[in-house]
Amino acid sequence: MKQMNNNTQRAACCATLTSLVVLLSGCVAAPFIVGGAAVTTATVVTDRRTTGTIVSDQVIEQRVSYEVDQALGQSKRHVTVTSYEGRVLLSGEVATLNDRQTAQQVAAASLDVREVINELAVMDPTSMTTRLSDSMLATKVRSAIIGNSRISLNQMKVTVDRGIVYLMGLVTREEAQLAAQTAAEVSGVQKIVTCFTVESAEEVARRMQNVDSSNASTSEQP
């Protein structure tokens, strides 16, 4: 597993909470294209990542998904790839322990990946009915987070596999707890796994200043 380089005192959390949970869908502003990927204006304004990092995460998800798919060949699987600041979450199902290890190795070696969190289960792939249910549950969880004025969906990503809710993003400790609690109140959630990068409020404020400066510089380029 690749480890993050933290010059600031931030902790990457990956903890689980059991409960009943989740749902959601996000609010979307008109998208614009940066480097071939769509990024919404609302996201850029409030996201704690730079525009370049947002696009990079989208590219990482597509690249790792393709590379893992190629590496596993004909083996039965259902692998979901989620990236936040180069930290990659692998969730879903694979046929064997060897496939699970292969997926992690492939993801870790992929361009711009800084860390891999491997949550793949060794079991038969879920049915389309289960995946549809997971998608609806993810929408419910996102909606619940949007409905909590003390946290923002733009600071995190929500992924659901087999009723397990995975939360990734860059948040304060209070925000991490609120997000997990909010998701846990959604009917249908089996477990919550938080894979947040946690920073203090002061560190977040400094980060946002840097993000604003970086995005401003990017927008001024011809």
Residue range 23-38, pLDDT digits in tens:
333 323 333 333 344 4
pLDDT of residue 222: 59
pLDDT of residue 5: 46
pLDDT of residue 45: 53
Pairing relation of β-strands 191-198 and 15-18? antiparallel
Phi and psi, residue 190, nearest 5°: -90, -35
pLDDT of residue 113: 98
3-state secondary structure of 64: helix
- Residues 173 and 13: their CA atoms lie apart, in Å, by 10
Residue range 162-215, pLDDT digits in tens:
999 999 999 999 999 999 999 999 999 999 999 999 999 999 999 898 887 877
- Whether the Cβ atoms of residue 157 and residue 82 lie closer than 8 Å to each other: yes
Query: In which band, very low, low, confident or very high, does the pLDDT at 9 lie, cut at 50, 70 and 90?
Result: very low
Residue spans per domain, the chain? 11-205
Residue among 101, 91, 104, 94 at smallest CA distance from 74? 94
Alpha carbon 114 to its chain centroid, in Å, reads: 14
Rounded mean pLDDT of the chain? 84
pLDDT of residue 159: 98
153 to 27, 63, 111: CA distances (angstroms): 9, 24, 27
Q: Averaged over 148-166, what is the pLDDT?
A: 96
- Whether the Cβ atoms of residue 12 and residue 197 lie closer than 8 Å to each other: yes
Which pTM was predicted? 0.79
- Whether the Cβ atoms of residue 199 and residue 207 lie closer than 8 Å to each other: yes
